[in-house]
Amino acid sequence: MTTITVPSAFRVHAADNVATLLGDAASGSAVAVVGPGAKSELVAREKIGMGHKIALTAIGEGEAITKFGVVIGMAMRRIEAGEWVHLHNCRSKLDERSGSFDLETGAPPKGAEYA
């Protein structure tokens, strides 16, 4: 008998438009979303690692990204439901440098001067 594992994502607050993955999600895999006001399932549009954010709804360019019921960043381009939400498509409202950080490590670009 084959067991199919569906990754889960946790929505912290009913106002959130992202959820945090509790396990790795492969591109095209179903993701069960749990938490306040969460819909039951969505499809990951790309590979997303555990601990990273997945968009629960489409988020327009310049729109707020909300987690914990508060705005944590702004979309740099349109983000579709099921996409990975990270440094390549969002920026912090608190740290304007965030859009230039390395996608995998979060490090600033080589040679960049940051105080």
More confident residue, 110 or 11: 11
Instruction: Give the pLDDT of residue 41.
Output: 87
Instruction: Output the six-digit token pair for 25.
Output: 């999600």
Query: pTM score, two decimals?
Result: 0.79
Structural domains of the chain, ranges and CATH numbers in brackets? 8-100 (2.30.130.110)
Instruction: Give the pLDDT of residue 24.
Output: 95
List pLDDT tens digits, range 25-46. Answer: 999 999 999 999 877 789 999 9
What φ, ψ does residue 49 adopt, rounded to 5°? -80, 155
Q: How confident is the model at residue 113 (pLDDT cuts 50, 70, 90)?
A: low
Other beta carbons less than 10 A from residue 88's beta carbon: 12
Instruction: Give the pLDDT of residue 39.
Output: 72
List pLDDT tens digits, range 49-80. Answer: 999 999 999 999 999 999 999 999 999 999 99
Q: Rounded distance, CA 78 to CA 52, Å?
A: 18
User: Does the pLDDT value for residue 4 go beyond 90?
Assistant: no
Which residue spans within the chain are E strands per DSSP? Answer: 8-10, 18-21, 30-34, 41-43, 53-55, 64-67, 70-75, 84-85, 90-91
